[in-house]
Structure 1
Amino acid sequence: MSDDLFLPRAEPTIAERPAPAWAKKSLPKSKAAVRTKTKVSARKYFAPNDPHEHAHKIAEGVIDAWHQNFGGTSIDIPIGTVAALALLRNPPGLADWILNLQPHQLPQLFKEIYLGYWVKRPDLINRAMRLHDWAWNPDPDTQQLRAVHAVAHRAINTGLLDLTGHNDPYMRSESDVLSPLLTGLRHKSDKKWRGEYHTPPCVTDLLAEMLVDKDFAGQGKAIREPAVGSGAMLRSVAQRLRDLGLNPHDYHWYGNDVDSLSAACAAVNAIIWDLGPGTLIGCADSLATEDGGYAKTRAEAQDAFKWRDDAMGTATTIAAHRRAFRLVDQLMPDKEKASA
């Protein structure tokens, strides 16, 4: 359709009037008129010097984004979103790439993150099940996905990857981003009946400094926390060991909590803080069992690794069969030509 049809009937000397909005919609779009999708970039966030204050700022922003976008009452979802992002290292361009994903693309990203760590630590990822099982929902709620999208944007733009994305485990262990998020999202009455009060990091850091010294060195020693919460005490002890030139991998770590969501956060934090292969996180009532649930947790971990090994063995067999079938398909035409 010609633009001339929408010009006023006037003398040529009079300036042409722009076509009305309703007419513009019917005009064919030229290549120049096609608008390209605007790319979103992570803004530079001036983080507080105190990493604990920074973690609180991230939690406040995430909570605000979740509620403003009507995410609902399932607090596992925003916590699981932040936990998945906190498991990532932070190469250049990663933040911008994530920010340009659409809401429906985020569950697949989170599944790949958790599955990647499941191959290494199936016991800890199984313990964190509450944080990621929602991502496998085949029919997700679109409003919740929009809220998840808003949470991811707020977390990244508030500097989450700057806090947790370091290659150096000491740097990413300077704070706990999940503790203030968990306690901030839970209702006051819920925290009261659970008796859930996380120890402030300044207290756990002081305790670790008082209790751990060079004499604590030696492989095989164990650090146990019967009410681990999200792992604050474990983090402080690990940092203290590193300050003393010791390696957390040389120790056994056992954290237990009666609340499954707190235990899930502790399991993810154990990976973020790189506590090492001797780490077990349980979910049991420490007062109801003689060993604080240790035997049960150890058995669950062994089952998780066996399940992982069986699944990986099956996957390897399937992959080998597929390669064999492709090779046969490639060779068949040559055989047919030779017989002809």
Structure 2
Amino acid sequence: MSDDEISLPRPATTAAAQLTAPAWAKKNPPKPKAAIHTPAKIKARKHLAPRDPHEHASKIADKVMDAWYQNFGGSSIDIPLGTIAALALLRNLPGLADWILNLQPHELPQFFKEIYLGHWIKRPDLINRAIPLHDWAWNPEPDKQQLRAVHAVTHAAINTGLMDLTGHDDPYLRSESDVLSPLLTGMRHKSDKKWRGEYHTPPCVTDLMARILVDKDIGGENKSIREPAVGSGTMLRSTAQRLRELQLNPHDYTWYGNDIDRLSAACAAVNTIIWDLGPQALIGCANSLAPEDHYAKTVAEARDAFKQRDDYMTTATTIVGYRRAFRLLDESTKETTAA
């Protein structure tokens, strides 16, 4: 922990942003009110839970892996990971799960692109970091067999209760587990994990570490929480949950997670949105042991992403304005001609 603060642009508020964002992206999650998460209420919620959230996340990962490989999805683990990440970004609106289950395989890439675009309007830096998870959806000629596997993965995840874990409006409830970590580590080949040195800390351990290290003394604004080997972000999740249990707001902190692996950093970026770590949360992708200032690089990349977003929004607003003007002119011309 250290005193630190970064200044990033706020989410877009232009008319173009409202026109572009799909319905599920327009609804902003409520700012976490830490005061409602009293120990008694947290204990009651955990008592009523149908299963341990970490076990639930692991079960979802197992079902997704079975669906992917049984449908011959191939070796590209970014595709099933990106599918689950996109679904985890949704709120569990009435009827939404059934609507998704009725989509055909060829309709899913466009659906996922709209999810990522909706969140890109709010956090372009994090969605840019998550490119390894959604780059495949932009392929103009997707592999039909992979689309069938994506379809099977979507059904497996939803039918195993993914949206029951990640679809809550309350950020405390949707932060009770990391649904991407068991899937990422499960789909990595054993030898691949060994040479990468990729061994994610179990959530029970990160929860224990957060309870030992985080107390009310770290309260106050302009504080920084950093993780140099963030993986998919499980340590950040545990810390955020501990802050909420202490009636502290994660939005009051600057968060920085870094990982050398692009896919892990992409998962951490998506999880940062799911867990609502706040507007001052950054995810980098660099070697934490290298002498370069990777934190400054991540800040610069984030600011560039927001500037690019604003430029696109300005252009979109201009285009919308021109189209409306031309439509009005066309209607006026037709009325004049008819007269």
- Distance in 2 separating the partners of 1:334 and 1:303: 47
Instruction: Pick which of 205-214 and 262-271 moved more.
Output: 205-214
How far 1:72 moved relative to its partner? 0.4
- 2:149 matches 1:120: no
How far 1:264 moved relative to its partner? 0.1
- 2:153 matches 1:151: yes
- Distance in 2 separating the partners of 1:290 and 1:265: 23
2:289 maps to which of 287, 290, 299: 287
How far 1:48 moved relative to its partner? 5.0
Aligned to 1:255: 257
Matched AA of 1:151 = V
Greater C-alpha radius of gyration: 1
Aligned to 1:62: 64
Counterparts of residues 219-230 of structure 1 (less than 5 Å): 219-230=221-232
Aligned to 2:182: 180
Stretches of structure 2 lacking an aligned partner (at least 5 in a row): 1-48
Which digits, 9 at most, give the CA deviation of each residue in 1:93-135, with x for residues without a partner?
A: 1111000100000000000000000000000000000000100
Asked if 2 retains the 8 angstrom alpha-carbon contact of 1:48 and 1:54, the reply is no
Bigger relative contact order, structure 1 or 2, given CA contacts below 8 A and separation 6+? 2
Asked if 2 retains the 8 angstrom alpha-carbon contact of 1:79 and 1:178, the reply is yes
Asked if 2 retains the 8 angstrom alpha-carbon contact of 1:129 and 1:264, the reply is yes
Aligned to 2:328: 327
How far 1:266 moved relative to its partner? 0.0
Asked if 2 retains the 8 angstrom alpha-carbon contact of 1:221 and 1:251, the reply is yes
How far 1:91 moved relative to its partner? 1.0
- Distance in 1 separating the partners of 2:338 and 2:177: 67
Aligned to 1:134: 136
Aligned to 2:97: 95
How far 1:92 moved relative to its partner? 1.2
- Distance in 2 separating the partners of 1:331 and 1:289: 65
Distance 1:284 1:81, change over 3 A: same
Given the two structures, how large is their TM-score scaled by the length of structure 2?
0.85
Aligned to 1:318: 319
Q: CA RMSD in A?
A: 0.9
Aligned to 1:15: none
- Distance in 1 separating the partners of 2:131 and 2:169: 25
SS of the aligned residue for 2:117 comes to helix
Matched AA of 1:335 = T
How far 1:333 moved relative to its partner? 2.1
Query: Segments of 4+ in structure 1 off by > 3 A?
Result: none
Stretches of structure 1 lacking an aligned partner (at least 5 in a row): 1-46
- Counting matched residue pairs gives 291
Given the two structures, how large is their TM-score scaled by the length of structure 1?
0.85
Aligned to 1:236: 238
- 2:293 matches 1:302: no
- Distance in 1 separating the partners of 2:273 and 2:102: 27
Matched AA of 2:85 = A
How far 1:206 moved relative to its partner? 0.7
Matched AA of 2:243 = L
How far 1:335 moved relative to its partner? 2.3
- Distance in 2 separating the partners of 1:91 and 1:337: 48
